[in-house]
Amino acid sequence: MSAVIPYAREDAGAPPSLVADYRSTVPRSPREPLVRIPATLTETTGPTGCWDRLMGPAMADLTTQHRAPPLGQRIIVTGRVLDERGLPVPDTVMEIWQANAAGRYVHVKDQWDAPLDPNFTGAGRVVTDGEGRYRFVTVRPGAYPWGNHRNAWRPAHIHLSLLGPAFATRLVTQLYFPDDPLIEIDPIANAVPMPYRQRLVSRFDMSVTEPNRALGYRFDVVLKGREQTPFEEDAHDH
């Protein structure tokens, strides 16, 4: 078997499949040159325009899904989904999942001793409007240990999965928060080279913040081109 080969995608801002410091990529990265399979009609067409019928109604407020409000700092996240020309991309599904304010996922494999919140599941879904805009309400997730190396902690982040006109047109990425010191020492975030890594960091926006209710953050997603939002090689994370 040949040696492990770091495989970089076409976009310079995308992380390679093999990042030595991110241990889960070592057994999961390609050992041989990739074989490109041409896309067929099945991959390039899909259920655009009927997401509600297929997936159910949007779940844009993760803080009102249970009997009581969840613990933690309530936040609003909003932005636009854009193409390489800066034009809005409407009718795009954005799936959301995250840890709770204590850094714990509702997941059978997450067994560290941070408390679960009975009023927070950490899952949501929105669809962009005609101007490519999206908005959801949640709580700021907490950092958590992840066992990659001694004293390893993941910075606060929200997972985002965007579905375009077909299921094969998918971007999976993560949203980080400004001024988080853990970003600089996180192997997953640092798999994305600079300056592209900054595209994964949201920005605080006072105009999005609602008085006495929630802090506001803005995060635009660019699907391709020079300003493309990097995906993330997230082999270990929940």
The ranges assigned to domains in the chain are 46-222
User: Residue 234's pLDDT is what?
Assistant: 52
Q: Does residue 37 carry a pLDDT above 70?
A: yes
The mean-pLDDT minimum among 49-53, 122-126, 155-159 falls in 49-53
Q: Across-strand partners of 108?
A: none
Alpha carbons 52 and 145: distance in angstroms, whole number: 36
Which residues are designated catalytic?
Answer: 105, 144, 154, 157, 159
Looking at residue 147, its pLDDT comes to: 92
Per-residue model confidence as pLDDT tens digits over 128-162: 999 999 999 999 999 999 999 999 999 999 999 99
Q: What is the pLDDT of residues 187-200, one digit of tens each?
A: 999 999 888 899 99
Distance of alpha carbon 143 from alpha carbon 232, whole angstroms: 18
Determine the pLDDT at residue 60: 95
pLDDT score of 22 more than 80 = yes
Task: Answer yes or no: CATH 2.60.130.10 is held by domain 46-222.
Answer: yes
Helices (H), 83-229: 187-190
For residue 193, the model assigns a pLDDT of: 87
Distances (CA, A) of 103 to 63, 68, 171: 16, 19, 24
Q: Is the pLDDT of residue 169 over 50?
A: yes
Report d(CA 115, CA 103) in Å as an integer. 8
Task: Name the nearest CA neighbour of 182 among 204, 152, 150, 146.
Answer: 152
Q: What is the mean pLDDT of residues 189-218?
A: 95
- How many beta carbons lie within 10 A of that of residue 73, not counting itself? 12
Percent of the chain with pLDDT over 70: 89
Predicted TM-score (pTM) of this structure: 0.89
Q: What pLDDT does residue 134 have? A: 97
